[in-house]
Amino acid sequence: MMSTDVLVVGGGAAGLSAAAEAASCGARVTVLESDLQLGGQLIKQTHKFFGSKDEYAGTRGYKIADILLDEIRSAGDRVEVHTNVTVTGYYPEDGTITAMRGEEEYFRVSAKKVIVATGAQERLIPFPNNDLPGVYGAGAVQTLMNVYGVVPGKRVLMVGAGNIGLIVSYQLMQAGVQVAAVVEAMPKVGGYWVHAAKIRRLGVPIYLRYSIKEALGSQVVEGAIIQEVDDRCSGIGNEKEIDCDIICMAVGLSPTVELCWQAGCQMKYVPHLCGYVPLRDRTMRTSHKDIWVAGDASGIEEASAAMVEGRIAGLSAAMSLGFKGDPGKLDEYWSRLGHLRAGEVGEKIRAGISQVMVDGWEE
C-alpha cells in the first residue's frame, strides 16, 4: 500500500499547484496522474495566458507547465509523482483509495488528506453519426497535434465558438490544418474577441446561430451538414454541406467529480459551473473533512483560476495536518481569484461560486 500525507488526484494545472504548495509547507505529497505526462491541459496550450503576472500572463500555456514542474522538482523527495495511474475509488468507511497503474495493476493508497484535482471531461451533443471516427473532442485534437505532433486531419469543422473552439481553431492553423468553418448555436461568439479576431483575420467563417445537423460518412467522417437554428437550437433550414474529415467538438466540459460523489461530499448542480460540483469553504475544503477540491473539478473555469485554487487547497490541506504555512497567503490567493473573476467576463463564474461557497463546516 502506498501512503502519504496529502494525495493529489490529477497532475494538471490545479493538481501541480496544490502539490507544490503543500510540499512548500513541509507535507509529503503524492500526485497520481492518469495520463502519460504531467501538466494536464496546460501542455496543450500554445497561446499566451491573460491575467496578471502572478498567473504567468504573457507566458504560453505549455511553458507554464514547465514552470510548475520545476517547482515540483525543487521540492525534492517531498513530492512523489506517478503517471499512468488512475484513481478508481474512494471508500468512505475507512478512507481507502484504490488506483490502477496501466490497465492491470491495482493497488491501495492511504492518505491523510486528499485534494481532488481531476479536471473535466468533454461534452458531446446529439446528432446523427456523432459516434463516427473523426468526431473528436477539442482536447483530443490538441493532444494529437500539440503534444505528439500528429496531424489530426486535413480539414476541420469546429463546433462551438467559446474560447476552446476559437483557440483550437487557431492552433489547427498553426499546425497547418485547414479550418473549414466554426459554427456556434448562440447569436454571439462566446469566447474572447481577440481569439475570434485572430481566426477571422485568417479567413475562417464563424457561422453564428448555426449548429451541426449531421456527420456524413459510414466508416469515418467524410463531411458534415450544418444548419441555421432558432433560440431553442431547433433547425430552421438554411443547410450547408461542409467538406471536412474532422468534426471537432468544443461544446463545453463537465467537472469530473466521481470521487467526490463516492466520498459523500455534499454536491450541487450549478449550471454556471457546468454541472454537479462539491460545496466548499474558503479553503476549498468540501463537506468531507479530509477532502479538498480545486480546478475544473470544482467548476469549469480557466487554468489561471485553477492554479490559484490549487494553491489554496494545497496550503489548507498541509496546514490542517499541522504543517506551518502562512495563513495570510489565503487572503492573497483570494484577492488573485477576485481579479481573475472581475468584470463582465467573470459574471457567470461569480454567480456560480456564490451558490457553492459555505462560510465554514460544522466540526
Partner 1 sequence: MHLIDQHPILNYRHGRRVKFTFDGKEMEGYEGEPIAVALHANGVRVYRITPEMKRPRGFFCAIGKCSSCFMVVNGVPNVRTCVTPLEEGMDVRTQVGKGKVSI
- Using CB atoms within 10 A of its CB, is residue 30 exposed (0-12), middle (13-18) or buried (19+)? buried
Query: What part of residues 148-167 is at the interface with partner 1 (CB under 8 A)?
Result: 148-152
- Structure-block grid coordinates of residue 300: 469549469
Query: What part of residues 226-265 is at the interface with partner 1 (CB under 8 A)?
Result: 256
User: 290 to each of 62, 70, 80, 298, how far by Cα in Å?
Assistant: 31, 28, 20, 16
The residue from 74, 110, 174, 354 that contacts partner 1 (CB under 8 A) is 174
| Span of 171-179, 187-195, 236-244, 298-306 interacting with partner 1 by CB under 8 A | 171-179
175 interacts with partner 1 by CB under 8 A: yes
Give the shortest CB-43-to-partner 1 separation in angstroms.
Answer: 10
Q: Which CB sits closer to partner 1, 63 or 240?
A: 63
- The site that binds partner 1 (CB under 8 A) totals a number of residues, namely 37
| Span of 173-181, 231-239, 285-293, 314-322 interacting with partner 1 by CB under 8 A | 173-181
Give the shortest CB-309-to-partner 1 separation in angstroms.
Answer: 20
| Span of 135-143, 193-201, 235-243, 336-344 interacting with partner 1 by CB under 8 A | 135-143
65 interacts with partner 1 by CB under 8 A: no
Give the shortest CB-103-to-partner 1 separation in angstroms.
Answer: 5
User: Quick one: CA dihedral 57, 62, 65, 69, positive or negative?
Assistant: negative
The residue from 2, 125, 132, 225 that contacts partner 1 (CB under 8 A) is 132
Contacts of 158 (CB under 8 A, 6+ apart): 138, 165, 168, 169, 172, 179, 181, 182, 183, 248, 250
137 interacts with partner 1 by CB under 8 A: yes
103 interacts with partner 1 by CB under 8 A: yes
Place of cell 473528436: 136
Give the shortest CB-147-to-partner 1 separation in angstroms.
Answer: 8
Contacts of 308 (CB under 8 A, 6+ apart): 17, 55, 333, 336, 337, 340
Contacts of 179 (CB under 8 A, 6+ apart): 155, 156, 158, 169, 172, 173, 199, 204
- Do the Cβ atoms of 46 and 29 come closer than 8 Å? no
311's torsion region: left (phi>0), alpha (psi -120 to 50) or beta?
alpha
Residues that bind partner 1 (CB under 8 A): 34-36, 46, 60, 62, 84, 86, 102-104, 121-122, 131-137, 139-140, 143-146, 148-152, 174-176, 219-220, 256
